[in-house]
Amino acid sequence: MIRISDEVQQALHEGRGVVALETTLVAHGFPPGEGVAVGLGSEAAVRDGGSVPATIGVLDGTVIVGLTVPELERFNAAARKLGPRDLAAAVVQGAPGATTVGGTLSVCKAVGIRFMATGGLGGVHRGWPTPPDVSADLGVLAQTRALVVSSGVKSLLDVPATAELLETLGVPVLGWRTDELPLFYAARGGPPVSARIESAEEAAQIAAAHWELQGGGLVVGRPPDESLDDVEPLIELALAAAAAENVHGQGVTPFVLDYLHRESGGRTLAANRDLIIGNARLAGAIAASS
């Protein structure tokens, strides 16, 4: 049911750094065609950092850990979005499926990968409990020995509420050379992190200690290199437009991203791409020093 590429298998066997990458952002996070370039750029960045990338998704009834380029190119808007609850059905039904952070971490747990990189984690939606929507990313993260590098959580979420829930779940939130959890596009203004770190070695040491103490997942929040400080009003407009057009559930994130990309003249798209690739590089360096 699970196929691990030879390169990833060998790296795991030799105890080298391996960094998992998700496919939801490839299939659903960028305009058609651009997601694959971001996926390949992330893989190159993990290698830059000194580790082996393992991009994960479901094709032809198999969970693949370490997709080839032609396989990665099959991830487009037609792929199902696979959270942890959706993996088994996609496998049995032979449907192409792009894994979210939670779906990817479930596979990491099954195969023993301890590091992952992404753009933003899922979390608590604004206005909770209407909608009563909290991402499955958080529950899986709490139960999985893995360190995830992200630029915080998705920008359209309630970031302080998500940070509180991460605390409730016992998930350390480490700030990469910052005291605040980044707000995805913006570097500053987020809730406080549980500890600030200055180096990849420090992140790897804290993760190792957390796991020895029987802890599960950790987040490293890396701020974008170029902070966009004027996106929040656009996010509010995008969410209002989504509500007005009756967009709900899984449709909200692609709708909001598309709205932001259009209304910012492409600045949010470039920022999103750059931060994902920067996070992959850092995750590569942390995994390599573990």
* Stretch of 3-11, 21-29, 36-44, 199-207 lying at the interface with ligand PSU (CB under 6 A): 21-29
CA gap 256, 83 in Å, rounded: 20
**Binding residue for ligand PSU (CB under 6 A) from 8, 20, 22, 282?**
22
Cβ within 8 Å of residue 157, ≥6 positions away: 122, 123, 124, 125, 126
Stretch 115-144 residues interacting with Mn ion (CB under 5 A): 133, 135
- Token pair listed for 208: 């190792």
Handedness of CA 40, 77, 33, 125 (dihedral sign): negative
Collapsing DSSP to helix, strand or coil, 173 comes out as strand
Q: Is residue 84 at the binding interface for ligand PSU, with CB under 6 A as the rule?
A: no
Least CB distance from residue 164 to Mn ion, whole Å? 17
Q: Is residue 137 at the binding interface for ligand PSU, with CB under 6 A as the rule?
A: yes
CB 52 within 8 A of CB 7: yes
Least CB distance from residue 206 to ligand PSU, whole Å? 23
Query: Binding marks (x or -) toward ligand PSU, 98..117, rule CB under 6 A?
Result: --xxx---------------
Where in the sequence numbering do the catalytic residues fall?
A: 22, 154
Residue 149 half-sphere exposure toward CB, CA atoms < 13 A: 32
Cβ within 8 Å of residue 286, ≥6 positions away: 17, 49, 115, 147, 149, 200, 203, 204, 207, 220
45 or 153, CB closer to Mn ion?
153
22 or 180, CB closer to ligand PSU?
22
Stretch 44-83 residues interacting with ligand PSU (CB under 6 A): 83
CB 12 within 8 A of CB 111: yes
CA gap 68, 47 in Å, rounded: 15
**Binding residue for ligand PSU (CB under 6 A) from 4, 11, 12, 25?**
25
Least CB distance from residue 103 to ligand PSU, whole Å? 8
Least CB distance from residue 25 to ligand PSU, whole Å? 5
Q: Which residues bind Mn ion (CB under 5 A)?
A: 133, 135
Q: Which residues bind ligand PSU (CB under 6 A)?
A: 22, 24-25, 28-29, 83, 100-102, 119-120, 122, 135-137, 154, 250, 253, 272
